[in-house]
Amino acid sequence: MAQNTNPKNHFSHEKATFVVVDESSETQKIDNFLLKILKNVPKSHIYKILRSGEVRVNKKRIDTTYRLKIDDQVRIPPIVIEAEKVSNVIEPKHQQTAWLERNVIYEDDALLAINKPSGYAVHGGSGLNFGVIELIRHARPRAKFLELVHRIDRETSGILLIAKKRSALVNMHDMMRQNRIEKKYTMMVEGDWTESKKTVELMLKKTFTQSGERRVNVTNEEEDDSQNQMSKTIFYLKKSFGAYSFLEAKLITGRTHQLRVQLAHLGFPILGDDKYGDFSLNKALQKKGLKRMFLHAFSMKLKHPLTDEPLELNAPLPRELEAFLSQQSQ
């Protein structure tokens, strides 16, 4: 008899699981979405549950060509696969999860906030066996519910929220849609930024390269296009070093790669940005000790999703960024 032989697979073999689609999965085909989140499930089984209609989106049957929309609710049926098909499951090593507990900055029954290091993707995929959410689930096997509230880029460090209850997840998604969560980032950019405060509003367009890599560009297109989204950020100058500038940013919208694309478009690319930055400068900075992108999500203010009490979260600047900042002050 088929049975769930992978106790670390967080899609139940006893009952259906529901996943709410966020911006990171918007426009993704349903089959690719399932392949990404059902890590150890054979591809043949994923297509089987799709074709049989066991996977539903917003309570309706869909086919393999369906593209996801924000807030779609995906029903994933009980996952039952044969033992020999999951015998090669890779488990995280202890050193991959050891940092988690010391990076917790807030936790209660509904919410977990961690200070994510640079270099960790929030979820697995694209050649990665484990992202932060998979590592947390592995480290806390008894937790009944652990879901990402939002995402930040792999190269970015800072505050990452994980819901421990579905009601908390739904409420925080509502808050995000209504811009009721204040997020602040700090970054070092190339160039001499002179304005103490600057509001930037740019239309951004998502595109994909032939290899499937996501890119975001500034566009002047006005037409109603699901790939076009207005972005807005308020930037503050914290300190100028001439060749570099230390900035703080308050997000008004939360678009994919928003800060990176806006700043590159303005001629102030973030140091260490390997997608939108100054590649020759990045290479030179690596020799000076900056081996990552200088972008950190340091502050978040919101109402608690269940108690409605004010909640302020802060993540200190990582040591490697603090060290580079100190070098510029000498």
Residues marked active site are found at: 153
Whether residue 99 contacts residue 135, with contact meaning beta carbons closer than 8 Å, is answered with: no
* 197 DSSP β-pair partners: 236
For helices 132-139 and 94-102, give the axis angle rounded to 10 degrees. 90
* 74 DSSP β-pair partners: 19, 57
- Kindly report the backbone phi and psi dihedral angles of residue 283, in degrees, each rounded to the nearest multiple of 5, phi listed first: -65, -40
Rounded CA separation 162/152 (Å): 12
Rounded CA separation 314/183 (Å): 10
Residue 292 identity (one-letter amino acid): R
Rounded CA separation 268/261 (Å): 10
Q: Where are the alpha helices (DSSP H) in the chain?
A: 30-37, 43-51, 94-102, 132-139, 166-177, 258-265, 279-287, 319-329
Tokens found for residue 155: 């190269």
Q: Which residue in 179, 155, 102, 197 sits closest to 296, CA to CA?
A: 155
Q: Which residues have CB under 8 Å from 166's CB, separation 6+? A: 18, 145, 147
* 270 DSSP β-pair partners: 189
Query: What single-letter DSSP state applies at residue 125?
Result: B
Whether residue 302 contacts residue 175, with contact meaning beta carbons closer than 8 Å, is answered with: yes
Provide the 10 A C-beta neighbour count for residue 157.
Answer: 26
